[in-house]
Amino acid sequence: MKLRIRWTMFKGIRRFLPFSAIGLMIIIIVCLFANFFAPYDPFEIGLAAPFSPPSWAHISGTDDLGRDLFSRILYGGRITLLIALVATTIALIIGTAWGFAAGILKGWTDEFLMRTADAMMAIPAILFALVCISGLGASVLSLTVVAGILLAPSTARMARSAILVEMGNDYVIAGIASGLSRWRLIWNEILPNIASQLLVQFSLNAAAAVMLEATLSFIGLGVQPPNASLGTLILQGYAKIWNSYWFVLFPGALVTITILLFNSLGEHVRLSMNSAKSSS
């Protein structure tokens, strides 16, 4: 029964993935391998053509130093995506362990861990990040770590709810009665069964991480020059938006599309998971 439910879930997920997954895959591949797809060196200054609007030579225009904006967007997207994906992975690992510990140990441990999660989630994310990054210093590393910590409590709450449900299922009760250790059950049986829920949370957290990176870089607490993320590019173009709209339009569009695709992926997985459960 358990194996049938698990297989049905992942079979259903595959039916819903194409658009979101393909769109994200294209963005991730093009940005991560920007050195192969970028038509120009993102740091190459072209003083002969500053503030050039979009054209065949520069499809996203050029900036105030004549640098090709499309190339800079690809390289900036790589930094943004790396920060988002690493931060989301950190949140997934910490949050899953956090939620599992609360759900399994219960009692005062559960109360302490969940109240800590509630307290962290009650603090505005930007305020929390401002305080932490001000102390750690603005850098890619500090932004990634802070984003991972910020996203961990929501993952912990989801993981706790999931493991409490699974611990009440017949296969877990039978496994414990047969002498299997609780941690072996978690690793071999429970974790694979909640993988779909973890994927949903990962997608939603990744969207939040992209937004957080763009916001913090826009206010000067993220990626620092000479490197540039999508948030940094939006910051650099903000003062010139009325005369050179492409400075903000194209990096802003990539941020928006990436967030929508991550959210869409998570929603599709969630709907597929619910459909698989109801049909089983």
What are the residue boundaries of the structural domains of the chain, listed by start? 84-279
Percent of the chain, pLDDT > 70?
A: 90
What is the dihedral angle through the alpha carbons of 203, 209, 261, 30, rounded to the nearest 10 degrees? -110
Question: Residue range 44-62: average pLDDT?
Answer: 83
Confidence of residue 278 (pLDDT cuts 50, 70, 90): low
Question: How far is the C-alpha of 232 from the C-alpha of 73, rounded, in Å?
Answer: 10
Q: Is the pLDDT of residue 225 over 90?
A: no
Confidence of residue 193 (pLDDT cuts 50, 70, 90): confident
> Reduced to 3 states, what is the DSSP secondary structure of residue 62?
strand
Q: Is the pLDDT of residue 5 over 50?
A: no
pTM (two decimals): 0.86
**What is the C-alpha R_g of the chain?**
22
pLDDT at 245: 87
Q: Is the pLDDT of residue 11 over 60?
A: no
Confidence of residue 222 (pLDDT cuts 50, 70, 90): confident
Q: Is the pLDDT of residue 275 over 60?
A: yes
- Could you tell me the two tokens for 270? 């969630």
**CATH class (in words) of the domain with range 84-279:** mainly alpha
Neighbours of 227 (CB within 10 A): 16
- Could you tell me the two tokens for 254? 């990539």
| Number of residues that make up the chain | 280
Q: Give pLDDT tens digits for 20-30.
A: 888 999 999 99
Write b or e for each residue in 44-82: b if 16 or more Cβ atoms lie within 10 A of its Cβ, otherwise e. eeeeeeeebebeeebebbbbeebbbbbbbbbbbbbbbbb
Most confident range (mean pLDDT) of 4-13, 40-49, 112-121 is: 112-121
pLDDT at 97: 93
pLDDT at 15: 52
Q: Is the pLDDT of residue 36 over 80?
A: yes
Give the closest residue to 223 by CA, choosing from 65, 78, 90, 126.
Answer: 78
Q: Is the pLDDT of residue 65 over 80?
A: yes
Question: How far is the C-alpha of 63 from the C-alpha of 72, rounded, in Å?
Answer: 10
Question: Residue range 161-169: average pLDDT?
Answer: 82
> Reduced to 3 states, what is the DSSP secondary structure of residue 184?
helix
Alpha helices in the chain (DSSP H): 2-16, 18-32, 34-37, 69-105, 107-122, 125-136, 140-167, 170-177, 182-185, 191-193, 195-218, 230-238, 246-279
68 φ/ψ angles, rounded to the nearest 5 degrees = -65, 120
- Could you tell me the two tokens for 108? 């005062």
CA angle (270, 275, 276) in 5-degree steps: 100
- Could you tell me the two tokens for 65? 């130093």
Q: Is the pLDDT of residue 265 over 80?
A: yes
Question: How far is the C-alpha of 13 from the C-alpha of 265, rounded, in Å?
Answer: 10
Question: Residue range 261-274: average pLDDT?
Answer: 81
Return the minimum-mean-pLDDT range out of 105-114, 121-130, 185-194, 199-208.
185-194
pLDDT at 152: 95
The answer to whether 160 and 99 are in contact (CB under 8 A) is yes
Q: Give pLDDT tens digits for 108-152.
A: 989 999 999 999 999 988 889 888 988 888 888 999 999 999 999
